Amino acid sequence: NVDSSLCPFGYFRLGPLKNCLPWLSCGAINTEVRKLKCVGEGAVKKVFLSEWKENKVSLSQLANLELKEDFLHGLKMLKSLQSKYVVRLLGYCEKQFTILTQYHPLGSLKSLNEMLDLPKYKGLNTWHRRFMLAIDYVSIIHYLHNSPLGTLVMCDSNDLDKVLSQYLLTSDFHILVNDLDALPLVNRSAGRLVKCGHRELQGEFVAPEQLWPYGEEVPFEDDLMPPYDEKTDIWKIPDVSNFLLGHVKGSDIVRFHLFDIHAACKKKNPAERPSTQMVMDTYRKILTLLLREAAMPGTREML
């Protein structure tokens, strides 16, 4: 799935028809990039809206030295996974813990509903555009589960807000994954499973296999917590899609059509949940069906 706008490894292109340029290194970042303002801060990084040769760019810096392993893992992933699904890397300086990426003014997916309320984007607030975002989301998870590095699990996903903050909304209303700090690798044939962090997870949002299985009598102990696989990501798809579909005319009809595949995603036994490929195919089939229906009014009465 090669995107023609992508450059060879180690290069980037900004804007429409420009040439591919090599990733900026420490020297160029220190002399050519100007910080404008802090636009976000997480546990691992601080993000600054910055300027490079009249382009707005995003500069991330390590916020907490204790988390430098996470930061460097995120950088490694960003380098290896450059594709149409992942935010574009423009350069980095490892010794200063700095990463430069393309800037997306609409910010994280958390702000979707606020953006769609703005007069400028109101016309995009339709079931069709929203469903396309859900398809984007599933396509990204599919890419991570079938990445050049193997099967990667999106671990920074213990609640809906956390999930949404890992993704960016582009100005043309697509989704990119932006935060790759917590992406462990599953290798089932080698018997390698994962755990998302070392603390006890709670709540309805995480998959059942991510919850402590031994009841309240047994205090949580990381070593006793059984590992799991990428099907935790599948469990979360219905909740994320539900948010993306929002409450516009037609979104309940989409939900009605998605009912069966979403019920399958919520199977208690991870092995019974569908693959991302199945979810993606089903989403696309339903989109085609609903667009056909929308183009032929009167078909709905026949259902």
pLDDT confidence of 18, banded at 50, 70, 90? confident
- State mean pLDDT over 66-80: 93
Please say if the pLDDT value at position 162 is more than 50: yes
Look up tokens 């300086």; give the residue. Answer: 93
pLDDT for residue 1 = 45
Give 200-259 pLDDT, tens digit per residue.
Answer: 999 999 999 999 999 999 999 999 999 999 999 999 999 999 999 999 999 999 999 999
What average pLDDT does range 155-180 have in this prediction?
95
The pTM score is: 0.93
Whether the Cβ atoms of residue 28 and residue 91 lie closer than 8 Å to each other: yes
CA distance 132 to 251: 12
pLDDT in tens, 78-122: 999 999 999 999 999 999 999 999 999 999 999 999 999 999 999
pLDDT digits (tens, 9 = 90+) for 208-222: 999 999 999 999 999
Contact yes or no for 61/46 (Cβ under 8 A):
yes
3-state secondary structure the chain: CCCCCCCCCCEECCCCCCCCEECECHHHHHHHEEEEEEEEECCCEEEEEEEECCEEEEEEEECCHHHHHHHHHHHHHHHHCCCCCECCEEEEEHHHCEEEEECCCCCEHHHHHHHHHCCCCHHHCCHHHHHHHHHHHHHHHHHHHCECCEEECCCCCCCHHHHHHCEEECCCCCEEECCCCCCCEEEHHHCECECCCCCCECCCCCCHHHECCCCCCCCCCHHHCCCECCHHHHHHHHHHHHHHHCCCCCHHHHHHHHHHHHHHHCCCCHHHCCCHHHHHHHHHHHHHHHHHHHHCCCHHHHC
Least confident of 9-18, 42-51, 259-268: 9-18
pLDDT per residue as tens digits for the range 117-144 = 999 999 999 999 999 999 999 999 999 9
* pLDDT score of 189 more than 90: no
Position 43 scores a pLDDT of 83
Of all residues in the chain, the percent with pLDDT exceeding 90 is 87
Q: At what angle do helices 276-295 and 251-265 cross, to 10 degrees?
A: 160
Give the separation between CA 255 and CA 64, rounded to whole angstroms: 41
pLDDT band at 296 (very low <50, low <70, confident <90, very high): confident
Cα separation, 96 vs 292, whole angstroms: 53
